[in-house]
Structure 1
Amino acid sequence: MTEPNTGRDERERTGDRQREHHREQERDHVDEADPPREAVDVAQREADDDSDAPRECHRRNCTERASFVVLERYQEETGHGAVEAEVALCREHTAEESPTNLDGAYMDYVFRVEPLPETVPASP
């Protein structure tokens, strides 16, 4: 006579408890508002800026140091909100950039190129 597989049974009970816990968490937080998108973006940018390591160009197969951040904010194709794309690029690849989502332009449309702080020479 074989004994029941208690390990598998225990894993199933643990999984059931975890799923129930997640459902409770979702119910508890359903009325909470999501943070504004820009607040999340600013926090992410600040976290990215805090790193001491110099950023590398985002383009594939480019190992140059990033000199600029290119930002474009446009309306999503479905019309259900704004999309913000931000990328760090070297000088050469930044020169190749231009607005690519003009068909998604709206009142708050943004296309901006800014130098990274570590690449701006200090004033004497």
Structure 2
Amino acid sequence: MNNAQSGILESTPPVARYLIFSLTDHGDARRNLRALRDMADGRQTVVGPGQSLVRALGATVPGLRTFPSYAGAGCDGPSTPFALWCWLRGDDRGELPHRARRMTCALTPAFRMEYVIVAFTYLERVVI
């Protein structure tokens, strides 16, 4: 995977899945991330490491910080810091669960999937 992930700036895909993982085993993290590297192309699969993962690996990413939480009258925007975030983009709703399963298996045992968010475009708007 290149440093630049073109999928971030491309138009919204018809269907998507967001996979959110916590780190459970630091010892296997590098091996499991190498398997993920072979699956993530930066376009159809976009990957975002969290600050906790970067620190656990003893690495640094310039500018990386935990997203702040916000709250206002009747509205909460919580910070959801997890170790790893993956955005699976696609055109075929049936294909995404298979990709998600392969990614989850590749990341086990070092990571545990905490959330899956299914999204799709309806009338040119993203629905989550």
Using structure 1 for the length normalisation, give the TM-score.
0.33
Q: Which has the higher contact order (CA 8 A, sep 6+)?
A: 2
Q: Give the structure with the larger strand fraction.
A: 2
Compare CA radii of gyration and give the structure with the larger one: 1
Q: Give the structure with the larger helix fraction.
A: 1
